[in-house]
Amino acid sequence: MGRLRSIAKELHPQIQHFLETHTITNPLPRGTKTEVPVDIQPSNLGFNEEEEDELVSYLCLNFTKLQDFSVDLPSLIKDLIHFIQMEAVKDNEMDGFSLFNMTEQDIFLMLPGKVGPARKILTLVTQEKEKWKQTEETCKGEQNVIEALEGTAFKEEDGLSTPGTVASGSTPRAASPVSDALKEETSTCSQEHKPLPGPSCDLASFIPTYSPLISDLLKTGEINKEWDKFIEETAYYLAGKGNFETRGIYADFGRLMYQKFPCIGHKAFSDPWKYFNKKLSQKLRNIRWKWNARSKGIVPSTTKKRKLEPVLNNSVPKEQMTMAEADKIFKEQLSKPDKNIDRALMIKTQRISFKERRNYVERKHDGDLKELLRKLPILGKADYVEREFFLMKPGLSKAIISDNWTEMLTRLDKVLNTDNGDEDEAGPGNKELLEVIQKLECKIQFFHKGKSAKNPLISIVKTSELKKVATKRDDPPRLVFVEADNGTLINAFVVGGGIEMEVNMNIKDALAHLVYSYYVWDLTYPKNYQLLGFLQVYLLGDEKNKFVMSQNYLKFTKLFGETDKE
């Protein structure tokens, strides 16, 4: 699948909105009886003609607006392709602030058309830094010479007199030209940089020098046209300051920015600068997280990486095999110590035998989870359950799930009033996120819990209590966290149906694995597990698989859906 088509799949809502609201301003020349869209010329953004042809085919099949010949289809498709391409290269945009922190790895991850300009600009920036450094050293040297000369003249004229007095028997000295020049320059500078009164007096230096585009929009009051770029330039400038962290500084800086640029105000908040503060705080957290991850050698999950094909063992000589042959390989590999397992062989075998295994699970599985995992032990391991799920849902990926988590939690902050405001934090920890999830579960559950109180979807037990967790054959899978004596979470398990499967103790990963398990094991949610249905719709984007919904669920999701329109 081409890059543009993959991007178009992820941008489905934005494309739909574009088609509904877009007005064609520069139509293509065409005849009066033309019914077939004209050829779209390849762009200069690094995408080839085949990718754009594939994108056009995908768009025409999936959007009814592009099947209506009453509109100017060639011009509309041309504008839509340009919109998608610009979205594709948005993450590869270069600005003066990001270049100061760019590394060779950043250039390696860029689209082909951006690498050359990035290297040239990076070289120029390095040269300019050297010039600035030399200029600063020269200025400091000249200042020292001036001070030395002025001190010598003072001693020659005044003898042992102290500053501000005249020695007895001597005449008042004439003002030194050097001294007068320095005083005049100092007076001018103090007038230009006169601090503002009040708590904002130290924050004047935090206001960036914006690019010409942003400066013009701030002057005309139309900054909403490039709001994201405005926030980005501000955040990169402040990130280099290092001491811009406390909540009080955020409030004072937002107030100062609003006084200087009233167009950044927002009426939805009690203080008009709070919306600016919130967006700035989020961007700063994102920048600092990336810098910290980069310093530790961690590649962000949303970064596009080159995929290297694993070196496969010759134990799988053919592209088709029966489930019995696959099970033999699985059991042989799983009997080895973890470090000796041939994971490339396991992954390929799982992929090749996928269809036959799904046929068995969906047609012959009677709901006995323990018997299913005895027959297919690979489906009892969290890593392979996750791979099985993505084989079932090829349109999803870990990056998409991660983005959906971010969007869902942001909207939950608004609805549940759990947002941290202007505080610059790295994000909610496991305990804080778990509280948000449990609060959500309370909002959407049935009025009468019934048997759900015995087996709650999420429970926390002490290490000593883990062995007492009962799991009968007819119990639905649920999530159990193990808590140490000091209150930290140390383990997480999917428990139910007489089995237990260890999963990542990160709250997001653990909940995602629980939902994956229901798909892979072909189970239906108990009606009291409304949270699983919520995650199915808003985390996986799956509205086709129906489940029983409570009145509380319907009310909450209606309110939750309205936040997407804001």
pTM of the model: 0.45
Structure tokens at 152: 């010598």
Count CB neighbours of 530 within 10 A: 25
Query: Has residue 328 been placed in a domain?
Result: no
Tell whether the model's pLDDT for residue 520 goes beyond 50: yes
Tens digit of each residue's pLDDT (9 = 90 or more) over 266-294: 876 778 888 888 888 888 888 888 877 77
Tell whether the model's pLDDT for residue 154 goes beyond 60: no
Structural domain boundaries enclosing 451:
398-565
pLDDT in the model for residue 517: 93
Instruction: Report helix, strand or coil for 327.
Output: helix
Find the mean pLDDT for residues 437-459: 77
pLDDT band, residue 157 (cuts 50/70/90)? very low
Burial environment of residue 495 by CB neighbours within 10 A (0 to 12, 13 to 18, 19 or more): buried
Q: What is the mean pLDDT of the chain?
A: 74
Residue carrying structure tokens 């397992």: 341
> Is 223 within 8 Å of 230 (Cβ atoms)?
yes
Least confident stretch, 67-76, 159-168, 480-489 = 159-168
pLDDT band, residue 160 (cuts 50/70/90)? very low
Instruction: Report helix, strand or coil for 284.
Output: helix
Residue carrying structure tokens 């984007």: 541
Tell whether the model's pLDDT for residue 9 goes beyond 50: yes
Number of compact structural domains in the chain: 3
Query: Has residue 24 been placed in a domain?
Result: yes
Domain boundary among 92, 125, 157: 92
Q: Contacts for 406-414 with beta carbons within 8 Å, 24 or more apart? A: 408/538, 408/539, 409/433, 409/436, 411/560, 411/563, 411/564, 412/436, 412/440, 412/560, 414/563, 414/566
Tell whether the model's pLDDT for residue 190 goes beyond 70: no
Q: What Cα–Cα distance (Å) separates residue 561 from each residue in 475, 511, 521?
A: 32, 21, 30
pLDDT in the model for residue 339: 85
How crowded is the C-beta side of 249, counted as CA atoms within 13 Å?
16
Question: What's phi and psi for 462, nearest 5 deg?
Answer: -80, 165
Query: Has residue 276 been placed in a domain?
Result: yes
Question: What's phi and psi for 492, nearest 5 deg?
Answer: -145, 140
Residues near 436 by beta carbon (within 8 Å), at least 6 away in sequence: 409, 412, 416, 418, 428
Query: Has residue 70 been placed in a domain?
Result: yes
Same domain, residue pair 408 and 289: no
Same domain, residue pair 414 and 561: yes
Same domain, residue pair 408 and 549: yes
Tens digit of each residue's pLDDT (9 = 90 or more) over 315-347: 444 567 788 888 889 888 888 888 888 888 999
Domain boundary among 77, 92, 107: 92
Domain boundary among 72, 92, 112: 92
pLDDT in the model for residue 137: 64
Least confident stretch, 87-101, 504-518, 521-535 = 87-101
Query: Has residue 345 been placed in a domain?
Result: no
Structure tokens at 322: 């029966």
Tens digit of each residue's pLDDT (9 = 90 or more) over 107-148: 665 655 566 666 677 777 777 777 767 666 666 655 554 555
Same domain, residue pair 548 and 407: yes
Query: Has residue 257 been placed in a domain?
Result: yes
Query: Has residue 149 been placed in a domain?
Result: no
Tell whether the model's pLDDT for residue 44 goes beyond 70: no
